[in-house]
Amino acid sequence: MQQKNQVAMNPENTVFDAKRLIGRRYEDEKIQSDLKHWPFKVVNDGEKPKIQVQYKGEVKRFAPEEISSMVLTKMKQTAEAFLGTSVQDAVITVPAYFNDSQRQATKDAGAIAGINVLRIINEPTAAALAYGLDKGLKGERTVLIFDLGGGTFDVSILTIDEGSLFQVKATAGDTHLGGEDFDNRLVNYFSEEFKRK
């Protein structure tokens, strides 16, 4: 909620959607398409996107990995406060469609946050684990995991064995099919309607 209040008062310095930038090149067509929706500035720094903000009167530039590391640092602190002990290791989830570059950039974000990243796993696989789809299983089961989020859409088909062995059979997704994209399309549609009238 704090971010939503911040974006209204200081939009050009409120950063979000680092997941859409991480592990991509500045000239990537998806980044170029997203630029028109972001109130913050994204600049080309050696073919890599950097988020530029004003902080205490200074211009600062952050790589998407640095922004993600800030989120991971906060999550680490929250986990440590809840558990009452330090957290060194973590498994981090990423959208199923993330390529190798995006996965490596996510690992780098974990390292920047001081986390030993044990593994990167697909979000739909994590959902299957979280819902205990492997519990009380007799034989093998094939499941479809459908994840429509705020900014992404993931679908995975998994087979789960009674020994809690997960095997990903197929995966697909879209970085630009989620709640935020629905909002953007509605805004574009209604702005065109108002222009016509």
Q: What is the pLDDT along the chain (197 residues), one digit of tens a residue?
A: 555 567 678 888 999 989 999 999 999 999 999 998 899 999 999 999 999 999 889 999 999 999 999 999 999 999 999 999 999 999 999 988 899 999 999 999 999 999 999 999 988 888 888 877 667 767 888 888 888 888 788 888 988 887 667 788 888 888 778 888 788 889 888 988 888 87
CATH topology of domain 2-196: Nucleotidyltransferase; domain 5 (3.30.420)
Burial class (CB in 10 A: 0-12, 13-18, 19+), 75: middle
Going by C-alpha positions, the residue among 155, 153, 160, 131 that lies closest to residue 145 is 155
Enumerate the β-bridge partners of residue 44.
49
Tell me what pLDDT residue 4 has. Answer: 59
User: Which residues on adjacent β-strands are paired with residue 122?
Assistant: 94
34 within 8 A of 17, measured Cβ to Cβ: yes
Q: Which residue has tokens 């974006």?
A: 7
Per-residue model confidence (pLDDT) at position 25:
97
Whole-prediction pTM value? 0.79
Nearest to 127 by CA among 141, 111, 148, 109: 148
Domain ranges in the chain are: 2-196
